[in-house]
Amino acid sequence: STKPRIVVVGAGYAGMMTTKRLTQQLQPQEADIVLVNKHNYHYQTTWLHEVAAGTIDPNRARIMISDVIDTKRVQMVYDTVTELQPQNERVLLENGELSYDYLVVSLGFETATFGIPGIAENAWKIENIESSKAIYHHIESQFIKYASGETEDDTALNILIGGSGFTGIEFLAEVVEKVPELCSKYDIHQSKVRIINVEAAPSILPGFDEELIEYAEKNLSDRGVEFRIGTKIQECTPDSFIVGDDNEEIKAGTVVWTGGVQANPVVGHSGFELTKGKVNARDDLRAPNYDNVFMIGDTSWVWDHENDKPFPVNAQSAIQEADTCAANLQALLQGKETNNFVFDNKGTVASLGKGDAIGTILDDYKLFGKKARLMKNVIDNRYLFLVGGPKLILKKGKVRFF
C-alpha cells in the first residue's frame, strides 16, 4: 500500500503501549502498523524476579499479544531483530527484513557486567522469561542434588546475589520466601542454606530514601539474608564471587548477577552512539541523527532539563514515553510539531515479598509494609488495565477478587 508504515520493534512495556495507543489514535487509512517481537507473548519484566525465585507461575507473567492487540489492525511479526539500518530505513530479522517509514525502537535491556571478569559467562541473569525460569530450575536442581546425596557440599545450596539495586532486593525478598518451602519439600534443614548479597556501593538500594533503605535491610536481615555491603566483586566463577581487596572467595551453588542494565545489544551493534550503555534520545524521544526513528524505554536516556539529569529509566517511564511517542508519530504523519517528553513521577515501590514492600508516592510520601504492598498491586493492575482492560486484570492481576 502507499500508506506510511510504522514499525515497532520489541513488545515490552514501551512497544506494547505505543502500539496500543497508535491503534486507538490513528485511523486505519492513516498508517500501517507492524509490531515485531521475539515471541508471540509479552511478559511483565517487573515480575521476572518472581519467576526467577519460583514464587509465581511463569505463565502468570506472560500475556499473549493477540489477546490485547487487535491483530486485524496491527501486522504481527514474530521474529528476532538482528540489526537496525536507519540509513536504509530497514530492519533485519533472523528470518527476513522489513522496511519502514517510521521506526520505534523498544527492544529493552540486557544485563550490564561493568567489565567484571566472569560475570557474562558464569552468572545467571534475570533478563527474560526463559532466563528467569532457568534460574529457578537451577536453584531447585541444587536442592534435589543435595537431598539425593549427589553432592555433600554444603555451599551447593547457597544462593549468592550480586547487586542490591531494585532488582537485586526484590529478588532477594522472593528467594527468602521460597527457601523455607524448598527446605520442607526436600527435607533439608534451613541452616544449610545461606542467602548472600554482595554490593559494592556503601548501602543497598542506592538512590532510595534512607529510612526505606533501613527498613528493607532490617526486614531482609531478620529473614536470614547476609549482606556484604561496600564489597567489590573482583571476579565471578561458575560457583563463587571473588571479593574485596583480599580476594576472598564466597562459594555458592547458585550465582546470580543483578548489578545493572544497558540497552539491548542490537542498538549499539546498529551504530547508534551509546552513553553509559544507552542512546541519548532527543527531547521528543527521537534518536539523534534520524528524524523518523524513536528510541524509547530501556534503550535510551531522556534528559530532564529541570533537574539537569536523565529521567528515571523504568517501566513507569517506558509506559509514559509510549504515550508521547504515539502522539509524536501522529503529529509527524499530520505534518504537525512534536512535543517533548516530560516524566510524571507517580512514585516507586519495591516489593519485599507477598505481604511487604517499601516506596514513595506523591513525591516524598513514604510507604512501608502492607500499605506499600497494596500500592504495588495497584501499580501492577493499572498497567494490566491500560494494556488489556478489566478482563486482563481478572485474568492476570495481583489481587484475587474471588
Instruction: Judge whether 36 and 77 are in contact, CB under 8 Å.
Output: yes
Instruction: Judge whether 310 and 263 are in contact, CB under 8 Å.
Output: no
User: What residue spans of 187-304 are helical by DSSP H?
Assistant: 210-222, 265-269
Neighbours of 98 (CB within 10 A): 19
Q: Which three cell numbers stand for residue 235?
A: 571476579
Residues touching ligand FAD, count (CB under 6 A): 35
Binding mask 115-134 for ligand FAD (x = CB under 6 A): -----------x-x------
Q: What H or E segment, with its residue span, contains residue 300?
A: strand 300-301
Ranked by CB distance to ligand FAD, the top (closest) residue is 12
Least separation, in Å, of the C-beta of 12 and ligand FAD? Answer: 2
Catalytic residue among 170, 174, 177, 199: 170
Task: Check if 170 is active-site.
Answer: yes
Kindly tell me which of 101 and 127 has the beta carbon lying closer to ligand FAD: 127
DSSP state of 259: S
The CB-based long-range contact list for 115-120 (8 Å cut-off, 24+ gap) reads 116/233, 116/234, 116/235, 116/236, 116/259, 117/234, 117/235, 117/236, 118/235, 118/236, 118/237, 119/162, 119/233, 119/236, 119/257, 119/259
Identify which range of 11-19, 195-203, 232-240, 390-398 contacts ligand FAD by CB under 6 A.
Answer: 11-19
Q: What H or E segment, with its residue span, contains residue 41?
A: strand 41-43
Instruction: Judge whether 227 and 242 are in contact, CB under 8 Å.
Output: no
Identify which range of 151-159, 307-315, 325-333, 391-399 contacts ligand FAD by CB under 6 A.
Answer: 307-315
Identify which range of 21-29, 53-61, 271-279, 308-316 contacts ligand FAD by CB under 6 A.
Answer: 308-316
**Footprint of ligand FAD on residues 193-232 (CB under 6 A)?**
none
> Quick check: 48 binds ligand FAD (CB under 6 A)?
yes
Q: Contact with ligand FAD (CB under 6 A): which of 108, 259, 277, 353? A: 108
Q: Which three cell numbers stand for residue 311?
A: 529521567
> Which position has the grid cell 492481576?
397
Identify which range of 44-52, 191-199, 232-240, 333-341 contacts ligand FAD by CB under 6 A.
Answer: 44-52
**Footprint of ligand FAD on residues 253-282 (CB under 6 A)?**
264, 266
Q: Which residues are catalytic?
A: 170
Chain positions contacting ligand FAD, by CB under 6 A: 10-15, 36-39, 42, 45-46, 48-49, 80-81, 106-109, 126, 128, 166-167, 170, 264, 266, 297-298, 313-316, 318
